[in-house]
Amino acid sequence: RKEVEQDPGPFNVPEGATVAFNCTYSNSASQSFFWYRQDCRKEPKLLMSVYSSGNEDGRFTAQLNRASQYISLLIRDSKLSDSATYLCVVNKGGYSSASKIIFGSGTRLSIRP
Amino acid sequence: NAGVTQTPKFQVLKTGQSMTLQCAQDMNHNSMYWYRQDPGMGLRLIYYSASEGTTDKGEVPNGYNVSRLNKREFSLRLESAAPSQTSVYFCASSLRGGDSETQYFGPGTRLLVL
């Protein structure tokens, strides 16, 4: 079983729709959680960190469920420019935590006009 | 600020050839990383450098070596390239390598080994 699992998609939704992705992680001691966005043939860029209480940034909402070991990303009123691959990232923490960052393989989102 | 820069952008090698991928950051970050990204797989850590003067193996270090030349630069060397090393390579940096820090990525190097 992968340490971080995501549905690869693609999710193909119309502009203006609401779309949600989940990501599950296997290590219950994981400390930090993030969503990164990666455009086609580009580098990943941080979209948002995920906090225990949940957090919102404009049209994007991220939530963490430690009991069930998953994080989610909700995109409201989707735009064509939201088309990208969304990477779930988990940091297991601990000593030398730089080596404990695990990337999911990503969920592809395509927004159609 | 240029952020994280990588050279070259593209490279084609024959099996057995060697090459060095260069990475530099101008954000005064302490920690730097090399990842590879293959289709259907997440980014996998090859090597990282928590601070100047230190390097450590990541998940997939075999066939690679690294040098943290100074605080700004972190290079990745393939001594004898193999087709299995065909991939997209990303360099990244973060301020101190802490749990909750953002990683900043370079634009990537696309490597094809024939």
Spacing of C-alpha A65 from chain mean position: 13
Does residue B59 have a pLDDT over 70? yes
Over range A44-67, report the average pLDDT. 94
pLDDT value at position B108? 97
For the stretch A61-74, what's the b/e string if a residue is b when 16 or more beta carbons lie within 10 angstroms of its beta carbon?
A: bbbbeeeeebbbbe
Which pLDDT score is estimated for A96? 57
- Report the half-sphere exposure of A16 (CA within 13 A, side-chain side): 1
B45 with A46: Cβ contact below 8 A: no
Could you report the per-residue pLDDT of A57-108, keeping only the tens digit for each?
999 999 999 999 999 999 999 999 999 999 999 987 765 556 678 899 999 9
What is the average per-residue pLDDT within A14-32? Answer: 92
Site of tokens 């049209």: A59
pLDDT at B92 exceeding the cut of 90: yes
- CA angle at residue A44 from A10 to A23, to 5 degrees? 50
Chain B 78-107, residues with CB within 8 Å of chain A CB atoms: 90, 94, 97-100, 102-103, 105-107
Q: What is the mean pLDDT of residues B4-19?
A: 97
Q: Decide if A8 touches B, using CB distance below 8 A.
A: yes
The partner residues of B46 in beta bridges, in order of sequence, read: none
pLDDT at residue A99, as a whole number: 64
| Predicted pLDDT at B97 | 75
Q: Measured between alpha carbons, how far is A27 from A21 in angstroms, rounded to an integer? A: 19
pLDDT of amino acid A100: 79
Residues whose CB is less than 8 angstroms from the CB of residue A28 and which lie 6 or more positions away in sequence, other chains included: A66, A69
Q: How high is the mean pLDDT of chain B?
A: 94
Amino acid at B49: S
